[in-house]
Amino acid sequence: VERWTATSRRNGSESPALLRPIRPGPEPTLSMLSRSLFRVSGMLAATAKTAFRTSAVRCFALPTAGEMTPGSAEMKARAQDARAKFPDLILEPMEATLFAIKHKAKIIDVRTAAERVSHEINGRPGVAVTGALSIPLDDMVSGSAPVPSGPLLLVCSKGPKSLVALDYLLGDVGVDGVWVVDGGTTAWDTEGLPVESV
């Protein structure tokens, strides 16, 4: 059986369609259709994975109560994720001090009032970085405290909560100029940098 197709040519004006024969090809078999469907489904799956990865990079969720609870598995996981995403925004204490002076950055303690009083810093409770403003992450997320503008240097007791705050401020809020003190107030105090009682 010979098949035909219609074609048209344009030479400045529409010309009548011409019929030309097509050489007959093999009729599609079930195995041919299955292979084609398999290839298409594979391409769709790859596209879906790429789209998911892209959205995962661009979308940030509000921190959950678990992610804001010191020592929890949820906080550790989100902090580890933030550390992997933003390695250049994590500063050693000495580096952070010089940065804060040079850029006139506000040092923000993201712990709650209860955490600031009860958490032990090198065996001493109630220790904070000198001059740090107390703006708990929990209050920023709930809306009961304003989110400060950058440049900001975030600190907590040992680092994880400030990493969660970094992830939140950069992703959900879109604050520019946010960095974290690696190791938190504990590392700051270990380096002999100024601290105060709360």
Q: What is the pLDDT of residue 27?
A: 59
**Bridge partners (DSSP) listed for residue 195:** 129
Q: What is the pLDDT of residue 26?
A: 56
Mean pLDDT of 67-89: 96
Check pLDDT > 70 for residue 36.
no
Tell me whether strands 90-91 and 178-181 are parallel, antiparallel or unpaired.
parallel
Q: What is the pLDDT of residue 183?
A: 97
Check pLDDT > 50 for residue 79.
yes
Mean pLDDT of 39-58: 38
Q: What is the pLDDT of residue 101?
A: 92
Check pLDDT > 60 for residue 37.
no
Mean pLDDT of 15-43: 50
Place 32 in a pLDDT band, splitting at 50, 70 and 90. low
The mean predicted confidence, pLDDT, of the chain is: 79
**More confident of the two residues 172 and 64:** 64
**Whole-angstrom Cα distance, residue 150 to residue 79?**
20
Mean pLDDT of 61-66: 91
**Whole-angstrom Cα distance, residue 132 to residue 162?**
13
Query: Dihedral, CA atoms, 96, 98, 100, 103, nearest 10 degrees?
Result: -130
The tens digit of pLDDT for each residue in 117-169 reads: 999 999 999 999 999 999 999 999 999 998 888 899 999 999 999 999 999 99
Check pLDDT > 50 for residue 173.
yes
Mean pLDDT of 37-64: 47
Q: Are 164 and 156 in contact (CB under 8 A)?
A: no
Q: What is the pLDDT of residue 176?
A: 79
